[in-house]
């Protein structure tokens, strides 16, 4: 008999790599603690840093028998002020302050500062509100005079070099893909990432451009749209078009919260997750999820509830940023996040679903995948849903339905194996069918589930497969099998 006392976490954990994870033994411990996807942040580090880190991830994952995906994250057009002669200034409420795109890069003082985005003066007008340093400093635009944007300080405080600028309500015209991004995209393809995140897309056209730039060499890379501009979530048509042009989306709550306001962010997070799942795309919830653990060994209660609420919203993954890239407790943070996810997943709401229950289906493989999940959720004695897949599509569709049961993606293709590492509730296992006869497939699949302690003799497993293995979109069969005792 197998030991299935430990629950399997369904929500996936994305962890950013950086100096903290580079410390001896830390990356290995992070992956052992449950990291499913590593994030390579192209805003920091060199191409060689990312290549080295990804090679280490691949080696450790193979040694631990895990499928761990890699997400490359492009910097995008982060709009920043320039620098101050003294490193920082203090702005007083009611005081005038000028942002001048023509000012020297190091010439900032308490009255004015430069900006690295030359079109800022064309994008703003009197009455606009600018938010600096993630909204900690607020400026109202009084007038624009040539290259100089004259403002009044509404919320003052300390302002230091290179802090970001957002326009409340959106409307900055900077393109989503900068020259640096295009170079980093080539690096991402060369080192073999599984997903590539595009920062600040305004519309589906930005994602289409990224797909074209990936070309044939990057055709197997999944695109992730980072939703952080007000325009991207302004209406359902724009949001849905961006989702459909991507393989996954990220609720990037930092810049998005600054642009639309924290009070609107709550409902917007839930709307993005709901729309992504309805459109059969994966979704990552990110930003400050356990930020206090950069310096503390335990999360705050508020962070616990934040992560748990994202899990109950049915996000596919929750993401750690500076907590694992630069924090003092990277391994402990992953462990804490895994505990919180498991705790939230025990709630009944996390296991019941009405997904597409009143909709018709147009594809045979979707019909099989969704039927398998509803059967599994309603038939007593089912231990798992096993999907033989060439691309990971059937497990993706199945994972859109909430359940307490594991979905096992059985794939020969290592790219498909890693792609599935992002999908909620999916356990990705290597399964080479090339040397198997059609009669052997089911028995070998059941034996693998027993070996991995996912099922045991007497359980039922719902198995989906196609008549022709390794054929995209070929899933057309659903079988309910009883797991039999294995004989030596």
pLDDT in tens, 86-120: 999 999 999 999 999 999 989 999 999 999 898 99
Residue 378 has pLDDT above 80, yes or no: yes
Angle (nearest 5°) at CA 198 between 196 and 201: 155
Output the six-digit token pair for 466.
């196609």
Our answer to whether residue 39 is catalytic in this structure is yes
In 3D space, the residue among 199, 208, 203 whose CA is nearest the CA of residue 177 turns out to be 199
Ranges of beta strands (E only) in 112-203 are 112-113, 129-132, 137-145, 148-155, 157-160, 165-167, 195-198
Output the six-digit token pair for 473.
């979109």
pLDDT of residue 466: 79
Q: What is the mean pLDDT of residues 377-400?
A: 91
pLDDT digits (tens, 9 = 90+) for 193-219: 999 999 999 999 999 999 999 999 999
For residue 354, name the pLDDT band (cuts at 50, 70, 90): low
pLDDT digits (tens, 9 = 90+) for 318-339: 999 999 999 999 999 999 999 9
Catalytic position from the list 11, 16, 268, 287: 287
Residue reference for tokens 């390794």? 470
For residue 355, name the pLDDT band (cuts at 50, 70, 90): low
308, 275 contact by CB (below 8 A): no
Our answer to whether residue 226 is catalytic in this structure is yes
User: What is the chain's Cα-based Rg?
Assistant: 24
pLDDT of residue 1: 38
Catalytic position from the list 78, 83, 167, 226: 226
Rounded (10°) angle between helices 236-244 and 262-278: 50
Catalytic position from the list 4, 51, 58, 80: 80
Our answer to whether residue 315 is catalytic in this structure is no
Catalytic position from the list 10, 39, 53, 400: 39
Which range is most confident: 66-70, 346-350, 466-470?
66-70
Q: What is the mean pLDDT of residues 300-316?
A: 96
For residue 353, name the pLDDT band (cuts at 50, 70, 90): low
What is the spatial distance between Cα 118 and Cα 101, in angstroms, rounded to a whole number? 6
């Amino acid at each position: 008999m197998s030991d299935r006392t430990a629950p399997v976490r369904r929500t996936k954990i994305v962890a950013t790599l950086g100096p903290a994870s580079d410390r001896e033994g830390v990356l290995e411990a992070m992956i052992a603690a449950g990291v499913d996807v590593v994030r390579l942040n192209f805003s920091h580090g060199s191409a060689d840093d990312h290549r080295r880190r990804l090679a280490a991830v691949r080696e450790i994952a193979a040694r631990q028998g895990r499928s761990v995906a890699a997400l490359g994250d492009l910097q995008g057009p982060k709009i920043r002020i320039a620098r101050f002669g003294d490193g920082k200034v203090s702005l007083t409420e009611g005081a005038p302050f000028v942002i001048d795109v023509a000012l020297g890069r190091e010439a900032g003082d308490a009255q004015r500062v430069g900006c690295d985005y030359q079109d800022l003066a064309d994008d703003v007008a009197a009455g606009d509100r600018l938010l600096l340093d993630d909204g900690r400093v607020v400026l109202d635009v009084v007038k624009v005079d040539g290259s100089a944007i004259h403002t009044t300080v509404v919320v003052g405080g300390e302002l230091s070099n290179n802090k970001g600028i957002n326009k409340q309500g959106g409307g900055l015209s900077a393109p989503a893909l900068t020259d640096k991004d295009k170079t980093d995209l080539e690096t991402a393809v060369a080192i073999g990432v599984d997903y590539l995140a595009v920062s600040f897309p305004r519309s589906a056209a930005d994602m289409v451009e990224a797909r074209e730039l990936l070309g044939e060499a990057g055709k197997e890379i999944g695109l992730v749209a980072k939703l952080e501009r007000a325009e991207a979530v302004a209406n359902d048509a724009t949001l849905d078009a961006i989702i459909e042009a991507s393989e996954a989306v990220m609720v990037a709550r930092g810049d998005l919260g600054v642009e639309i306001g924290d009070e609107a962010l709550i409902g917007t997070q839930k709307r993005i997750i709901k729309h992504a799942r309805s459109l059969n795309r994966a979704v990552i919830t990110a930003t400050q999820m356990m930020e206090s653990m950069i310096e503390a060994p335990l999360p705050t209660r508020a962070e616990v509830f934040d992560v748990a609420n994202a899990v109950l919203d049915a996000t596919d993954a929750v993401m750690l940023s500076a907590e694992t890239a630069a924090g003092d407790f990277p391994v402990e943070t992953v462990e804490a996040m895994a505990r919180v996810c498991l705790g939230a997943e025990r709630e009944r709401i996390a296991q019941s679903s009405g997904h597409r229950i009143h909709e018709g289906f147009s594809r045979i493989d979707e019909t099989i995948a969704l039927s398998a999940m509803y059967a599994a959720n309603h038939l007593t004695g089912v231990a798992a849903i096993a999907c033989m897949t060439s691309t990971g599509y059937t497990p993706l569709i199945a994972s859109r339905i909430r359940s307490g049961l594991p979905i096992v993606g059985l794939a020969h293709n290592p790219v498909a194996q890693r792609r599935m590492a992002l999908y909620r509730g999916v356990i990705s296992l290597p399964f080479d069918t090339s040397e198997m006869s059609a009669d052997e497939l089911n028995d070998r699949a059941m034996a693998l589930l027993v070996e991995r302690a996912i099922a045991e003799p007497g359980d039922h497993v719902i198995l989906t497969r196609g008549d022709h293995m390794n054929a995209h979109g070929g899933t057309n069969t659903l079988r309910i099998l009883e797991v039999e005792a294995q004989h030596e």
